[in-house]
């Protein structure tokens, strides 16, 4: 006897099955093809597939399916396999709903000539280069399978879905952190009256530093404050030091968590580098 008993094949790629009197949704390329109710699926088959175990995720996925074309379901299943393989780890179940919904909506929009601007594209590219590279492959796959070329902004959106699935974070948190980094960068630009080159190393370093600061604040990780350096920076670079505190106050307000004083020291160093290069 196999591990999972097929209750119903919904389409070529999705079946509802039962295990220990519990329903699960199993997703995989061709899994539903020629499957009959009562068929058994072996564990070794399952390892090449995705099993949605969470009841809420199952319900959301099943509600979404009737509104999506078979082509988009096929291409999304293939895309998620690609992401899992490239990431080399298990993905959060929610990507099945999040990415399917996003890709089908994006595909419909682009087909009608309605592209959406991605205001966080440069930040996303700098923050998550690995996810961005995988997202690029997903966009190429969608283009090949559907004939619709998604614009570069979509690579950024898809990269955030991938990051969310790899890190097990909700999309709300991922999006809010990207927006916060974008806001902090624009504050730096207006304070220094410059436009940062989004491809430059200084921009990448600043953005990554801001991201890691946010991560540390969220986990409550303490960084030691080099007292003598703090005093020196305050005297030597008062504009950068004051700006770093302004940015920290924005972080505190947005994240609702305290930020250690030491962060101001490290942030001042990054800001000083950006300012000296822009002169």
pLDDT in tens, 109-121: 898 888 788 888 9
Predicted confidence at residue 2, as pLDDT, reads 55
Return the ∠ at Cα 207 (arms to 205 and 209), rounded to 5°.
Answer: 65
pLDDT tens digits for range 80-108: 999 999 999 889 999 999 999 999 999 98
Q: At which residue do the structure tokens 């921009």 appear? A: 203
**What average pLDDT does the chain have?**
89
What does the pLDDT average to over 61-77? 92
pLDDT higher than threshold 90 for residue 222: no
Q: What is the mean pLDDT of residues 121-139?
A: 95
For residues 173-202, average pLDDT: 92
Domains, the chain, ranges and CATH?
1-53 (2.30.24.10), 55-169 (1.10.1790.10), 180-278 (1.10.1790.10)
pLDDT at 146 over 60: yes
80 neighbors 94 (Cβ within 8 angstroms): no
Task: Say how far apart CA 68 and CA 217 lie, in whole Å.
Answer: 40
* pLDDT for the residue 47: 65
Residue 192 has pLDDT above 90, yes or no: yes
pLDDT the model gives residue 138: 98
Instruction: Look at the alpha carbons of 252, 258, 264, 267 in this order and tell me if their dihedral is positive or negative.
Output: negative
- In angstroms, the CA 71 to CA 75 distance is 6
Higher pLDDT among residues 39 and 68, named by residue: 68
| CB 243, CB 263: distance < 8 Å | no
Q: What is the pLDDT of residues 232-258, one digit of tens each?
A: 888 999 999 999 999 999 999 999 999
Q: Is the pLDDT of residue 1 over 50?
A: no
Identity of the highest mean pLDDT range in 2-6, 38-42, 211-215: 211-215
Please tell me the distance from the alpha carbon of residue 245 to that of residue 42, in angstroms, as a whole number. Answer: 58
183 pLDDT tier (thresholds 50, 70, 90): very high
Q: How far apart are CA 50 and CA 256, in angstroms?
A: 36
8 A C-beta contact, residue 36 and residue 17:
no
Question: 142: which residues sit within 8 A by CB, 6+ positions away?
Answer: 75, 79, 103, 107, 148, 150
What's the rounded Cα separation, in Å, for the pair 102 and 104? 6
CA 163, 169, 172, 177 torsion-angle sign: negative
Asked if residue 79 has pLDDT above 50, the reply is yes
pLDDT above 80 for 210: yes
Residue among 213, 207, 208, 279 at smallest CA distance from 245: 213
pLDDT at site 30:
82
110 vs 46: which has the higher pLDDT: 110
**Average pLDDT of 147-166?**
94
């Amino acid at each position: 006897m196999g591990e999972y008993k097929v209750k119903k094949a919904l389409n070529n790629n999705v079946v509802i099955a039962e295990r220990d009197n519990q329903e699960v949704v199993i997703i995989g390329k061709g899994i539903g093809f020629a499957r009959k109710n009562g068929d058994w699926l072996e564990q070794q088959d399952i390892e090449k597939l995705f099993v949605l175990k969470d009841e809420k995720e199952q319900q959301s996925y099943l509600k979404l399916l009737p509104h999506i074309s078979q082509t988009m379901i096929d291409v999304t299943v293939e895309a998620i396999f690609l992401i899992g393989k490239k990431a080399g780890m298990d993905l959060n179940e929610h990507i099945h709903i999040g990415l399917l919904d996003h890709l089908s909506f994006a595909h419909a929009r682009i087909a009608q000539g309605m592209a959406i601007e991605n205001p966080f594209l440069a930040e996303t590219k700098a923050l998550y280069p690995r996810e961005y590279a995988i997202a690029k492959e997903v966009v190429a796959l969608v283009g090949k399978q559907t004939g619709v070329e998604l614009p570069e902004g979509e690579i950024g959106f898809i990269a955030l879905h991938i990051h969310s699935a790899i890190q097990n974070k909700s999309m709300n948190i991922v999006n809010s952190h990207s927006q916060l980094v974008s806001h902090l960068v624009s504050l730096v630009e207006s304070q220094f009256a410059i436009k940062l080159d989004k491809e430059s190393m200084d921009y990448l370093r600043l953005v990554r530093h801001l991201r890691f600061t946010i991560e540390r604040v969220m986990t409550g990780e303490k960084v030691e404050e080099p007292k003598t350096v703090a005093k020196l920076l305050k005297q030597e670079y008062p504009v950068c030091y004051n700006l770093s505190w302004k940015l920290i106050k924005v972080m505190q307000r947005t994240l609702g968590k305290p930020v250690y004083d030491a962060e101001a020291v490290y942030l001042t160093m990054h800001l000083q580098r950006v300012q000296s290069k822009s002169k």
